[in-house]
Structure 1
Amino acid sequence: MKFMGAMTLRWGQGRVAYCPIFQAGSPNMRVLKTERLCLRWFEPSDVDYVLEQISEAGWKRNISDPGVNDLAAARDWMEAKLFNWYWPQGLGLWAMERLSDGVVVGMCGLLQRDHLQAPDIGYALLPRYEGAGYAREAAQACRAYAHDVLGEPLLFGTTATFNEASGRVLQAIGMQRLSTGPLGDSTEDSHLYGVGEACRLSEDAQVRDLLARFFAVFDNRIGRHAPLAALPYFFLPEAVISRASLPGEAAGVQRMSVREFVEPRVQMLAPGGRLQEFSEWVSEQQVQVSGRVAQVWLRYRKSGILDGQAFEGGGEKTVQLVKPGRRWKIAAIAWQDRD
């Protein structure tokens, strides 16, 4: 077992309350796919793998001993340490599922630690699956996902000073060792690796970049995977999405949480879903930034195949954003389709 973190992981302490993510009928949230692996959100049915993973001697040596000895305790651990990241953060550790047989061989993902200015990559493998290149393949994909989908120009990785194998994986995906010393509230030394540099875009350009990435995740043309699992990363957890009624419908507004907005679109845009060959793009926009708040008015166009019928359409959106930390987040969206 290898993990790119030398200290005890601190999932959401003092920041995020428990969010009961999985309910009956929740869609499978696939994050990305590689040649051999699918990385997806963990589900309660993965409890057997999780219990085995966190009981491994390597996990206890490199991370911590969670004191989990049975399935019931493993379920509680999953709720607190895995599920709690997904909707509030849009990040977390994801199941590393082998495409050939559906076996979960490990976990890999992106975590935002309080003491780092950008996310870092973490991973773990069961010992019997080490040596097959899965860690490097998943870590490389997470690096690309962070940059290409989430828009993170800077990424970190940490290892225990004695964990040379994990250091080699980080270096293999382009990271360089930056420093060695205690990180966060740990008293033990860790190696800190990194790749990229902090964002240098203007505030206006950052807002425009975020909205471009927002629209891009809905694109499932030519067999693309629409990475809708990224959407919670773009929003405040308490964001409100509102859809005005269509022309000809009774006047009204449909209000949705981030989850209520995302879940049906995951089902619609999945392979075999109702909506295929879909894309949506901005045709006109006006951006106003004042300090840490911003407002965008835009027109959009869209096209696709819905229930087997090709269509085109468009409308208007208004987007309110805030910058609570280093990144802009969407606080509210309201839209109306015109055709």
Structure 2
Amino acid sequence: MLLTTDRLVLRRFRPADAETLAAYRTDPEVARYQSWASPYSLQQARYTVESMMAADPDQPGWFQYAVELTAEGVHIGDVGVNLHDNRRQAEIGYTLAPQRQGHGYATEAVRAVLDHLIRVKGLHRVSAECDARNDASYRLLERTGFRREGHLRQASWVKGEWTDDLLYGLLEEDFFGVATTS
């Protein structure tokens, strides 16, 4: 499983990725809006990588792409896809190492995955959800063509507090509109 862009390779996780996964998931700013706790141990990262390596992207459930910088060959983040049982819909999520944020890598990676899901696999709909306080995340979703479909007030209990969730959706027809104008 390999997707490429001008600057990135999206591939299966490898055992060597556990250290970088643990590093960026440990960063408090990265973990702030996520379900995992910081610090994220190397043991947790190894287990996560093993699970990701065993996942099948063509079967319902979560599959995570490791995001690698082509020029440097460095693992910088991940994009997850949760394929629904009907294989026509999926949910997407993403995480990027803090020092790699703000350079367009996450947008590039998400667009590559969306292109694969919609253009190649023929999915009808992709959804995403994010913490309403995570401005960078919802701006990325909107930049890649997602439409905000809902705002759930105090819908999630995360790290000792109630948080609002933003719900986003992207239909096949929306994606092709974005793809031809980007």
Q: What is the TM-score of this pair, normalised by structure 2?
A: 0.78
Partner of 2:56: 86
Q: Tell me how far 1:94 sits from its aligned partner.
A: 0.8
- Answering whether residue 142 of structure 2 is matched by residue 171 of structure 1, we say yes
Q: Tell me how far 1:72 sits from its aligned partner.
A: 2.9
Q: Tell me how far 1:61 sits from its aligned partner.
A: 1.3
Counterpart AA for 1:85: A
> Which of 86, 89, 94 matches 1:123?
94
Q: Which deviates more, 62-71 or 89-98?
A: 62-71
Q: Tell me how far 1:84 sits from its aligned partner.
A: 4.6
Partner of 2:165: 190
Query: 1:68 & 1:112 partners in 2: Cα distance?
Result: 29
Partner of 2:22: 51
Q: Check whether the contact 2:64–2:78 (CA below 8 A) recurs between aligned residues.
A: yes
Q: Structure 1 residues 176, 70: closer, same or farther in 2, change over 3 A?
A: closer
Q: Tell me how far 1:49 sits from its aligned partner.
A: 0.7
Q: Tell me how far 1:148 sits from its aligned partner.
A: 1.2
Q: What is the TM-score of this pair, normalised by structure 1?
A: 0.44
Partner of 1:273: none
Return the index of the structure with the highest Cα Rg: 1
> Which of 154, 162, 182 matches 2:133?
162
SS of 1:143's partner is helix
Query: 2:36 & 2:84 partners in 1: Cα distance?
Result: 19
Structure 2, gaps ≥5 residues long: 158-162, 174-182
SS of 1:180's partner is strand
Q: Structure 1 residues 47, 173: closer, same or farther in 2, change over 3 A?
A: same
> Which of 99, 112, 119 matches 1:141?
112
Partner of 2:35: 64
Instruction: Calculate percent identity across the aligned residue pairs.
Output: 31
SS of 1:190's partner is strand
Query: 1:84 & 1:66 partners in 2: Cα distance?
Result: 23
Partner of 2:151: 180
- Name the structure with the higher helix share: 2
SS of 1:62's partner is coil
Q: Which has the higher contact order (CA 8 A, sep 6+)?
A: 2
Q: Tell me how far 1:175 sits from its aligned partner.
A: 0.9
